[in-house]
Amino acid sequence: MPKHNITDFNGIIMYRKDYQERDLLVKILTREFGKKMFFVRGAKKRGFKLTADILPFTYGKYIGDIKSEGLSYINSSKSTEQFKNISNDIFKNAYVTYIMSLIDFAFPDSEVLTSWYEPFFTGMKLVDQGLDAAVIANIFEVQLLPVFGVQPELRGCVICGQTNPPLDYSESYGGLLCEKHYHLDPRRMHLDQRTVYYLRQFSVLDLKSLHSINVKSETKKHLRHFLDQIYDDTVGVHPKSKRFIDQMNEWEGPQTSI
Ligand SMILES: [Zn+2]
């Protein structure tokens, strides 16, 4: 018999999926139990009492039956709020959805993600407040690399530890090289120093201390290009939400600024 565990929990709605005619499956990142899939019976019926509590980009306190395996259940909510600006803006929406899918890929369900819950919440809050969503996504992409088994050395040169610019990234060495050691990798990435600077910042950044973002669109393109290459070559994760972002950037043309 599966054990019942009716309890309070904090959660962020990750995504929803239709399930039969009237029901929904809702994936929630909980602070206490990690990612969990909830079966919400009657969720699509008119006048359903939890309709607002399970909208996309909603977070708050819920009460539910948490199963160690299989589907969990939401009984009621205590206080929930929606990030309205994310919900109403196709760009913010796309980038936050992408960050969510990376987190979904990166961790198995039910693994407690205490150290990711707050940063993820903070990241959403910053996007909702109007900080650059593309850059916030870059920060998560960089910080999630070790979770995907890629631990790029961004502190300094992988050979000698030198931290002064100029530095460049080498895929074959899995990290930065200083000018003295450039010759070791003829296929180094030839990154500009501004891009290297941001990558190093992002890898150690505490989102809570972030109050503004002002990255030039040129540099944003370079960051996007670098991270696409690393994700293609070494991570191998390609969420559908990322393809949508790529399309969006094509519509926007080369002057993309968000
Ligand atoms: Zn060196």
pLDDT tens digits, residue range 54-89? 999 999 999 999 999 999 999 999 999 999 999 999
Instruction: Map out the domains of the chain as residue ranges.
Output: 6-82, 86-151+184-252
- What phi and psi values does residue 127 have, to the nearest 5 degrees? -65, -45
Tokens, residue 145:
């690399």
What pLDDT sits at residue 115? 93
Phi, psi (deg, nearest 5) at residue 57: 65, 30
Whole-number pLDDT of residue 2: 56
| 222 CB-contact burial (10 Å; exposed 0-12 / middle 13-18 / buried 19+) | buried
Residue 5: what pLDDT?
Answer: 81
Residues 193-229: pLDDT tens digits?
A: 999 999 999 999 999 999 999 999 999 999 999 999 9
> What is the CA(225)–ligand 1 centre distance, in A?
24
184 Cα to the center of ligand 1, angstroms:
10
Residues with Cβ within 8 Å of residue 147, at least 6 apart in sequence: 106, 107
pLDDT at 6: 93
Which CATH architecture describes the domain 86-151+184-252? Up-down Bundle (1.20)
Q: What is the structure's pLDDT at 3?
A: 63
Which residues, 6+ apart, have CB-to-CB distance to 130 below 8 Å?
A: 85
Q: Which of 204, 83, 169, 167 is nearest to 133 (CA)?
A: 83
Counting every residue, how long is the chain?
Answer: 258
pLDDT at residue 258, as a whole number: 44
Distance of CA 168 from the midpoint of ligand 1 (Å): 10
Cα(199) to centroid of ligand 1, in Å? 18
CA-based nearest residue to 13, from 69, 83, 90, 85: 83
**176: CA distance to ligand 1 center in Å?**
8
Q: Which residues of 188-220 are buried (b: 16+ CB within 10 A; e: fewer)?
A: bbebeeebbebbbebbeeebeebeebebeeeeb
Cα dihedral 132, 134, 137, 142 sign: negative
Measured in Å, residue 150 CA sits from the centre of ligand 1 at 21
Distance (angstroms) between ligand 1 centre and the Cα of 201 equals 19
Give strand pairing partners of 253: none
pLDDT at 256: 46
CA 178 to centroid of ligand 1, rounded, Å: 4
**Residue segments in the chain with a per-residue pLDDT below the cut of 50:** 1, 256-258
Alpha helix positions (H), 46-131: 84-88, 90-106, 114-128
By the 8 A CB rule, do 138 and 202 touch? yes
155 C-alpha to ligand 1 centroid (Å): 12
The pLDDT value recorded for residue 208 is: 95
For 20-59, letters b (16+ CB in 10 Å) and e give: eeebbbbbbbbbebbbbbbbbeebbeeebebeebbbbbbb
What CATH number is given for 6-82 in this structure? 2.40.50.140
